[in-house]
Amino acid sequence: MEDIREKILIVEDEPDTRFILGKLLEKENYDVVSVSNGVEALKKLETFIPKVIVADWTMPQMDGLELCDRIKQKEKLKSIYYIILTARSSVKDRVKGLDVGADDFLLKPTENQELLARIRSGIRIYNLQSELKHSEREKALLEMAATIGHNLNNPLGSLKLFVSDLYLQLEEKNIKNFSEDFNLINQAIERISVLAKDLAKLKDPQAEVYVSDTKMIKLK
């Protein structure tokens, strides 16, 4: 059965803090993975995509700020809500964090309920962004389908007229040998015509598996 719990990644080099944060979030029924620095986090993100990352600012090998910068530059990761844990309270430090794309800051030591509230807020923002992207993709798909359907109609109309005219020109001659060919051409034209109409009227696009991992839009 698929695990539908919200995914959270903790990036914290201090073992006790990492353990406490992990237990707190697991108690709230989150799917939690913990790592000790930014390098490990990037490796884990190859297989585990969370909605929220909670990362310490100061860590060995790669700190939380550099990790944030790397993540926000990756298309498939940049929507992750990124919370930095830090003992730095100056405006200058916060501005520095925001400049690389951090979404939120929490001063250490953190208060549990505030951390949980920030995480819930981050998940809501992540979900809203995902819904917006889906809506934009759906709109683009509908526009593309309508365009293709409309553009198919013009050459299709010309083809129908051409076949009809050709049939009339051959009518006075022996066209028995051409009858099967004309039937096949007309069947192909009809299939294209139905496709053009379906594309032009597409309202609720849904993809289904065609072969292997290839997906195609389900028209009916």
Q: What is the CATH number of domain 7-110?
A: 3.40.50.2300
| Contact predicate 118/168, CB 8 Å | no
**How would you list the strands of the sheet with 104-107, edge to edge?**
31-35, 7-11, 52-56, 81-86, 104-107
- In degrees, rounded to 5, the angle at the alpha carbon of residue 80 between the alpha carbons of residues 78 and 81 is 120
Q: What is the pLDDT of residue 98?
A: 76
> Mind listing the pLDDT tens digit of every residue in the chain (220 residues)?
556 789 999 999 999 999 999 999 999 999 999 999 999 999 999 999 999 999 999 898 899 999 999 999 998 898 999 999 988 777 777 777 777 888 898 888 889 999 999 999 999 999 988 887 777 777 766 666 666 666 666 667 767 776 776 666 666 565 565 666 667 677 777 777 777 777 666 666 555 554 445 445 555 5
Buried b / exposed e along 174-188 (16+ C-beta atoms within 10 A): eeeeeeeeeeebeee
Q: What is the pLDDT of residue 107?
A: 86
- Give the alpha-carbon dihedral of 70, 76, 80, 86, to 10 degrees: -10
The domain segmentation of the chain, as residue ranges, is 7-110, 138-218
3 state DSSP class of 31: strand
Q: Structure pTM?
A: 0.64
3 state DSSP class of 152: helix
Q: What is the pLDDT of residue 211?
A: 47
